């Protein structure tokens, strides 16, 4: 067997740069001591341009789903009418969370592979003025679709509903403008475009949403944002955080800021465009249209997809993800988020074309896009 480097080309956890991962090995410090109290709020503030907000960002030790449940457990009361926009696995997760908390869950279903249609959302809201909360996924990584959150926010028109967005697999790779778009709650996590290890979720809440949640009597403790707000005033978290993840995030933000956010976003768009050109040059079918395509993950229809990606993993050490839900076994998903570059896209395409016996075709197409 020849040696290959392992290439993690899944939609998260994404590869972590050595500059970042080495921070994870720092000596342990007191999370109630001065170093943490000074650095933690400063590092959280550096996330604000990525969220597009001037609001506070809170950190929860947990996965992205812990961040989603933080939103749900703070906002929901039993029987409250909510609208879940579902077009994939993570939209379904919003729905399941809202059901677990006993809400009156309305669901608008969209095809798994195309974007949420803002006019459909607007129409539904007109018929249902009672809806108090809308839940949507920005980047539906299960289908490689980027939803147009700005248009969904606008589709509310005068409607009262608060908009809650899962930006776990987009934030830091795709522009997000929470304040400008009028988004009320944004959830993200460390292990995708933020280039840090998994274990931390981030959440920001508009003034209106914080008013809405602060008197909610619904039981909650570990996820209680009122506690996080209180402790952040002294630079702390209410419960012991995974301390070094904060310093890992700092190192990742150093890299993101050095590259420049606009360049980061342009790089993700370029990787998407290169990959789509290469896939088409191989005669394979993309799951999504150009308009709906995610800049951080690309889904490709392939017969017996799981066996196909297992062969590539074994032969070249390049790991793609499979399909979820209706797409299980029918697609491969190629992650290109965070610590990924146009040259990584070329190697991802190279292993596809070698496996398919179509040497050079995809790489040629992608290089043409790269050369502009």
Query: Which residues contact a second copy (rule: CB under 8 A)?
Result: 6, 8, 10, 12-16, 18, 21-22, 24-33, 61-66, 69, 72, 96-97, 100-102, 189, 191, 197-199, 219-222, 224, 238-245, 319, 321
Which lies closer to a second copy via its Cβ, residue 53 or residue 70?
70
Token pair for residue 325?
């839900």
Q: Which residues contact 189 (CB under 8 A, 6 or more apart)?
A: 12, 63, 64, 67, 168, 198, 200, 201, 202
Torsions phi, psi for 222 (to 5 deg):
-60, -35
Which lies closer to a second copy via its Cβ, residue 13 or residue 172?
13
The one-character DSSP state at 99 is: H
Which lies closer to a second copy via its Cβ, residue 22 or residue 356?
22
Judged by DSSP in three states, 113 sits in coil
Handedness of CA 188, 92, 238, 230 (dihedral sign): positive
Which lies closer to a second copy via its Cβ, residue 17 or residue 49?
17
* Shortest reach from residue 243's CB to a second copy, in Å: 6
Task: Note whether 296 and 192 are within 8 A (CB).
Answer: yes
* Shortest reach from residue 194's CB to a second copy, in Å: 12
Which lies closer to a second copy via its Cβ, residue 95 or residue 277?
95
Q: Is 337 left (phi over 0), alpha (psi -120 to 50) or beta?
A: beta
Torsions phi, psi for 227 (to 5 deg):
-65, -40
Which lies closer to a second copy via its Cβ, residue 35 or residue 111?
35
What are the start-end ranges of the H helices in 156-242? 178-181, 207-214, 225-232
* Shortest reach from residue 265's CB to a second copy, in Å: 22
* Shortest reach from residue 372's CB to a second copy, in Å: 31
* Shortest reach from residue 36's CB to a second copy, in Å: 10
- DSSP letters, 59-83, are EEES-HHHHHHHHHHHH--TT-EEE
Q: CA-to-CA distance for 127 and 369, rounded, in angstroms?
A: 45
- DSSP letters, 225-259, are HHHHHHHHTTT--SS---HHHHHHHHHHHHHHHHH
* Shortest reach from residue 189's CB to a second copy, in Å: 8
* Shortest reach from residue 223's CB to a second copy, in Å: 8
* Shortest reach from residue 148's CB to a second copy, in Å: 26
Which lies closer to a second copy via its Cβ, residue 13 or residue 52?
13
Task: Note whether 325 and 112 are within 8 A (CB).
Answer: yes
Task: Note whether 64 and 196 are within 8 A (CB).
Answer: no
Which lies closer to a second copy via its Cβ, residue 25 or residue 258?
25
* Shortest reach from residue 325's CB to a second copy, in Å: 15
Q: Quick one: the chain helix, strand, coil %, rounded to 5? A: 45, 20, 40
Which lies closer to a second copy via its Cβ, residue 91 or residue 115?
91
Which lies closer to a second copy via its Cβ, residue 216 or residue 269?
216
* Shortest reach from residue 242's CB to a second copy, in Å: 3
Task: Note whether 295 and 364 are within 8 A (CB).
Answer: no
Give the β-pairing of 133-137 and 81-86.
parallel
């Amino acid at each position: 067997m020849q040696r290959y480097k392992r290439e993690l080309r899944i939609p998260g956890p994404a590869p972590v740069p050595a500059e970042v991962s080495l921070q994870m090995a720092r000596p342990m410090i007191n999370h109630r001591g001065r170093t943490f109290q000074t650095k933690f709020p400063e590092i959280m503030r550096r996330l604000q341009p990525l969220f597009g907000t001037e609001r506070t960002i809170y950190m929860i030790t947990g996965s992205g789903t812990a961040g989603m449940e933080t939103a749900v457990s703070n906002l929901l009361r039993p029987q409250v009418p909510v609208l879940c926009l579902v077009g994939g696995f993570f939209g379904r997760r919003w729905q399941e969370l809202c059901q677990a908390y006993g809400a009156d869950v309305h669901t608008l279903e969209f095809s798994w592979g195309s974007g949420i249609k803002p006019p459909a959302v607007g129409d539904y809201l007109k018929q249902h003025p009672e809806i108090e909360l809308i839940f949507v996924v920005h980047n539906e990584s299960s289908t490689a679709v980027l939803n147009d959150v700005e248009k969904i926010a606008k589709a509310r028109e005068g409607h009262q509903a608060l908009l809650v967005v899962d930006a776990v697999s987009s934030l830091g790779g795709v522009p997000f403008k929470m304040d400008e778009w009028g988004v009320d709650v944004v959830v993200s996590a460390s292990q995708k475009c933020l280039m840090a290890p998994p274990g931390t979720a981030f959440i920001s809440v508009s003034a209106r949403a914080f008013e809405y949640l602060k008197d909610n009597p619904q039981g909650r403790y570990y996820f209680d944002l009122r506690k996080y707000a209180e402790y952040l005033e002294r630079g702390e978290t209410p419960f012991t955080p995974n301390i070094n993840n904060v310093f890992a995030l700092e190192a990742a933000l150093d890299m993101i800021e050095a590259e420049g956010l606009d360049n980061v976003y342009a790089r993700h768009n370029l990787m998407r465009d290169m990959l789509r050109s290469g896939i088409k040059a191989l005669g394979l079918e993309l799951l999504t249209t150009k308009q709906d395509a995610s800049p951080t993950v690309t889904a490709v229809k392939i017969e017996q997809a799981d066996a196909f990606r297992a062969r590539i993993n074994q032969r070249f050490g390049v790991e793609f993800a499979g399909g979820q839900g209706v797409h299980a076994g029918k697609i491969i998903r190629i992650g290109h988020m965070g610590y990924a570059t146009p040259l990584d896209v070329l190697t991802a395409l190279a292993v596809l074309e070698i496996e398919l016996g179509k040497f050079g075709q995809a790489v040629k197409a992608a290089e043409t896009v790269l050369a502009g």
